[in-house]
């Protein structure tokens, strides 16, 4: 009996250590900036259809979402890397997104002021400074870093747009824009009109 009791205590202690380690691991992944992706833009790269297929949490899906905002509103959660398109009945279409790196994230209320299919790309000066090899202009197309569609936010330089780097979805990678895989950005583009209300929520630093 004593031997069984000792074995039970060892198993219980080991389980407790595993739970504690898991909790510390989860806490570590929540550190701001830790999930930033050290990746450069790849103008001209065309991902395969397999690369553009998201799975798991970042795959487009309908979810329960309680809000007072009207259906048709877009809510962007920069902390959890999701864009929500509000639907009736406390539901929303949820899309996985890539967001701005630390120091480039922002919050506020905007409206979609312009929509563009296969937008041209003109890297801003600060991006050219970081990556001087980038072209100063690139016409829209499958290898364009802005992807298949772009929705411009008010009078800002920021957009909701596609990407030719689907592996960046779920990460903090951009200079403040919000990126979706091309299939998702086309779907969103077709669902929202000009003037759509867009609420950007920034993570609160602890």
171 is catalytic: no
pLDDT in tens, the chain (206 residues): 443 444 334 434 343 333 333 333 333 333 444 456 567 778 878 999 999 999 999 999 999 999 999 999 999 999 999 999 999 999 999 999 999 888 888 999 999 999 999 999 888 787 788 788 888 888 999 899 999 999 999 999 999 999 999 999 999 988 889 999 999 999 999 999 999 999 999 764 43
Q: Are residues 5 and 94 in the same domain?
A: no
pTM of the model: 0.79
DSSP code string of 16-48 = HHHHHHHHHHHHHHTSTTTTB------TT----
Q: Are residues 172 and 83 in the same domain?
A: yes
* Contacts with 15 (C-beta within 8 Å, 6 or more apart), sequence order: none
Q: Which of 149, 145, 170 is nearest to 160 (CA)?
A: 149
Q: 161: domain CATH number?
A: 2.40.440.10
Q: Are residues 94 and 165 in the same domain?
A: yes
DSSP code string of 53-120 = ---GGGS-EEEE---SSPTT-EEEETTTTEEEEEETTTEEEEEE-BEEPTTT---EEEEEEEEEES--
Question: Total domain count for the chain?
Answer: 2
Q: Are residues 62 and 20 in the same domain?
A: no
161 is catalytic: yes
Task: Look at strands 159-161 and 178-179 and give their pairing.
Answer: parallel
Q: Are residues 84 and 14 in the same domain?
A: no
How far apart are alpha carbons 186 and 194 in whole angstroms? 15
In a domain, 48, yes or no: no
Q: Are residues 61 and 24 in the same domain?
A: no
Query: Tell me, what's the pLDDT at 16?
Result: 38
In a domain, 148, yes or no: yes
How far apart are alpha carbons 188 and 93 in whole angstroms? 9
Coil/strand/helix, residue 164: coil
In a domain, 44, yes or no: no
Do 88 and 71 contact (CB within 8 A), yes or no? yes
Range of the domain at 112: 56-201
In a domain, 167, yes or no: yes
* Active-site entry in 92, 169, 172, 177: 177
* 160 φ, ψ (degrees, to nearest 5): -95, 120
Query: Tell me, what's the pLDDT at 133?
Result: 84
How far apart are alpha carbons 30 and 203 in whole angstroms? 11
Q: Are residues 20 and 74 in the same domain?
A: no
In the numeric block, the tokens 């895989």 are attached to: 181
Q: Are residues 185 and 90 in the same domain?
A: yes
* Active-site entry in 81, 101, 161, 179: 161
Q: Are residues 84 and 150 in the same domain?
A: yes
Q: Which of 141, 79, 67 is nearest to 107 (CA)?
A: 79
- H or E element in which residue 127 lies: helix 125-130
In the numeric block, the tokens 């830790």 are attached to: 34
Query: Tell me, what's the pLDDT at 62?
Result: 98
């Amino acid at each position: 009996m004593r031997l069984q009791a000792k074995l039970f205590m060892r198993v219980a202690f080991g389980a407790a250590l595993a739970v504690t380690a898991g909790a510390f691991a989860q806490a570590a992944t929540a550190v701001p900036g830790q999930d930033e992706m050290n990746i450069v833009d790849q103008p001209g790269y065309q991902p395969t259809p397999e690369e553009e297929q998201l799975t798991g949490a970042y795959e487009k899906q309908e979810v329960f979402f309680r809000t007072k905002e009207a259906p048709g509103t877009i809510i962007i959660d920069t902390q959890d890397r999701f864009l929500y398109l509000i639907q009736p009945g406390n539901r929303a279409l949820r899309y996985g997104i890539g967001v701005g790196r630390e120091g480039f994230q922002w919050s506020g209320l905007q409206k979609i002021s312009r929509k563009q299919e296969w937008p041209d790309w003109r890297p801003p000066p600060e991006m050219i400074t970081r990556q001087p090899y980038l072209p100063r202009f690139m016409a829209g197309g499958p290898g364009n870093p802005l992807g298949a569609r772009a929705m411009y936010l008010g009078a800002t330089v920021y957009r909701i747009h596609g990407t030719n780097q689907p592996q960046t979805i779920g990460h903090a990678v951009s200079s403040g824009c919000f990126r979706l895989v091309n299939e998702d950005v086309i779907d969103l583009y077709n669902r929202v009109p000009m003037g759509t209300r867009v609420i950007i929520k920034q993570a609160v630093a602890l």
